[in-house]
Structures are given as C-alpha cells and as structure tokens.
A and B are shown apart, each in its own frame.
Chain A
Amino acid sequence: MPKPSDLLQGTLDLLILKTLARDPLHGWAIAKRIQQLSDEVLSVRQGSLYPALHRLEQQGWITAEWKDTDLGRSAKFYALTREGKQQLARELQSWTRLSSAVRLLLKRA
C-alpha cells in the first residue's frame, strides 16, 4: 500500500472541523477517522494534529471536555462550537473554490 499523503497545507483545520461535525471525538479518534474516511490516503501526524486542535480550541472554533471512553478511560473530547460550525462552512466554501480552480487549471493547461 502506498504511504499516506501528507496533507495539503491549510486543509487540516477543515478536516478536523468536518470530522467533528458529526459528534465529539478525542485526538486519537480524529486521526483514525480522517484516515478511515479517506480510505487510508490521508494521515494526520500527532505533531500536526494536537497543535492544530489546541489552536482551534484557543480560537473558539472547538471546545474540549474530559470524558470517559467506551473502555472507561478518561480522554479529552473535542466538539464543534456554534461558531466552529460557521467557520466550517466558510472553510468548505474556500476549499470548494480552491479545488475547482485547481481542477480547471489541470483541465485547461
């Protein structure tokens, strides 16, 4: 299997916000879900994931709470705030614009 691709600069926030849109998750589960949902193509390294989570928390897009996992271990669960949902919508819009521009370029160049 090929090595999972490094994330395109600036898309990590979008991926984290989108992953948290459904339900609150801890850091480990966020990384796993991103990997699974992208069919193992995208991999978020701890060195990028945790600073990004803490940055998003400081910016008020996500909020954190210590809760027990299914296996009874205490973990820090991150959830999207109302403002975070609005930010996700903005990031999605920006991503759509960027990706369609890249697609256009690849088609026409």
Chain B
Amino acid sequence: MTLLRRLRVLRQRLRSSWRKEAMDAELHKEFAFHLDQLVHENIAEGMPPGEARSAARRTLGNAGLLEEECRDQRRVAWLHDLWQDLCYGARMLRRNPGFSIIAISSLALGIGGNTAILGVMGSVLLGDLSLPHADRLVVIRTFPLENPQQSSNASVPDYLAWKEQSRSFEVMGASLSDQKADWEAFHAGCGLRRTASRSCRRGARHPAEIHQRRWGIPQFTLLTCSKPAGIEDHLPTCSGR
C-alpha cells in the first residue's frame, strides 16, 4: 500500500470514527438525492408526482437497510459496537450493585493473586543474574549428536582442551563434581594441589560468604569482571594454561 493511499484510508477511518453523525447525514442526503432522481425520471415518463414518489421508494427499497450496508463498509463498526457494549456493561453493573461488587472482587482477587505469584516466579525463576554482563555468561554442556536433548556435563579433558584451544570465550571456568576421579584429573591437568572448597570475601563493606563448589579458574573474575579483593589465596586456579 502506498503512503498516499495509507493516509487516505487513515483519514477515512478517522472521519468514520469521529464524525459519524456528519457521515450518516451525508449518507442520508446521498440517498435522498438518488430518490429525487428516481422521482424525476418517473415523472418524465409520465407518472403523476405522488405515484412517481411511491414508485421511486419501491425501487430504492429499504433505505434504512441500504444505509446500514454502506455504514458497514466503513470498517469501524466494531469500534462503535465495542463502545456500545462497554456502555451496556457499565449500565448493568450500576443496576445490580451486589453482583457488581462480587464480580469486581473476584476479578481483583484473581488478578492480584496471579500477579503476586507470577511476580515471585519472575524474580526467583526467571530474573536476571545479579551480575554485571550476565547476558554474556553461558553454560557449556555436551550432548550426543544423535540425541541433542540429552545434555550432560563435560569431562575434565574436554574442558581442558576447550580452554586451551577455544577462541570464542573471554574466560572459561569449570565447576567440578565431588567425584574424586574428576578432581584428580583436573589437578593432573592443571598441575595443582587439591585445595579448599570454600572461601570468603573479606574487606568489602558487606562481607558475604560465597559458597562454591570446587572451581578451576578465577571464577570471580569470570562472574564479576573484577579481581576479587581479599579472596584467600588457596583458590585453585589454572592460570597460565
């Protein structure tokens, strides 16, 4: 649709919505003109004026219905119907206050309850991680090619290989399970000793205990984009690899 035509259509729609009375009057006038033309034609054919008008009315048919059909072409009838329905609804509510109070209370309770539950779900389950650049964090998992739905964790050798060869990630870290074999494989890969599994952030205004599983690289750097202050030095790291 060209811009000009779009504007023309928009103008028609606006006019049909806001100047309905004026348009209805025009419609009425248009049919009056048509009727008069029919009368003139009948008179010209030799009919007496009274008979000519009656015949013209018969030819034109149900003018009200015809006007209604023309109004239907305006494509804004739904707007008027909607407004009428709303007015009707408001009148009904005013007429039956008891029913109105029950209906409005039920709606309020239903909407309020839903909002509360969805609000909690949204912030707890769907909320963003409260970390800077959370949108750039990804979890890397592996899956068998023949069954992509069945994802699982990566093996330690895979992780070490990715870390060394991948160029798509700024930083990569691993969270190790408590299985001894994993942990030892990891240490063998990094050349590190087994170390503590918990650490504390100190010196911050609001000291926070950070629970962690056994992590393999400066995870804090990965998650917070800054080198953590006061982290105990015995965090297992794999830097330089």
Contact = CB atoms under 8 A, between A and B. Distances in A.
Given A50-B30, A74-B29, A81-B8, A55 B61 contact: no
A76 B32 CA distance: 11
Interface in B14-49: 16, 26, 29-31, 33-34, 36-37
Given A54-B74, A58-B12, A59-B9, A47 B69 contact: yes
Contacts of B4: 60, 81-83
Contact of B66 (A50, A58, A66, A75): A50
Contacts of B60: 46
B121 interface: no
User: Size band of the B side of the interface?
Assistant: 20 to 34
A4 to B, nearest CB: 13
A60 B30 contact: no
B69 A58 contact: no
Contacts of B34: 27-28, 46, 50
B193 interface: no
Contacts of B59: 46
Contacts of B2: 83
A57 B5 CA distance: 11
Interface residues of A, number: 22
Given A50-B66, A51-B73, A54-B70, A75 B33 contact: yes
B8 A63 contact: yes
B8 A47 contact: no
A76 B31 CA distance: 10
B72 interface: yes
Interface majority SS (helix, strand, loop, mixed), chain B: helix
A12 to B, nearest CB: 13
A73 interface: yes
Contacts of A27: 30, 33-34
B213 interface: no
Contacts of A46: 34, 59-61, 66
B154 to A, nearest CB: 61
A33 interface: no
Contacts of B37: 28
A51 B26 contact: no
A26 interface: yes
B202 interface: no
B227 interface: no
Shortest 8 CB-CB distances between A and B: which pairs? A60-B8, A54-B73, A60-B5, A55-B73, A83-B5, A28-B37, A54-B70, A51-B69
30 contacts: A26-B33, A27-B30, A27-B33, A27-B34, A28-B33, A28-B37, A46-B59, A46-B61, A47-B69, A50-B69, A50-B70, A51-B66, A51-B69, A51-B70, A51-B73, A57-B12, A58-B12, A58-B73, A58-B75, A59-B9, A60-B5, A60-B9, A73-B33, A74-B33, A75-B33, A76-B29, A76-B30, A76-B33, A83-B2, A83-B8
Given A28-B33, A73-B33, A83-B8, 19 more contacts: A27-B33, A47-B69, A50-B30, A51-B66, A51-B73, A57-B12, A57-B73, A58-B12, A58-B74, A60-B6, A60-B8, A66-B26, A73-B36, A74-B29, A76-B29, A76-B30, A76-B33, A81-B8, A83-B2
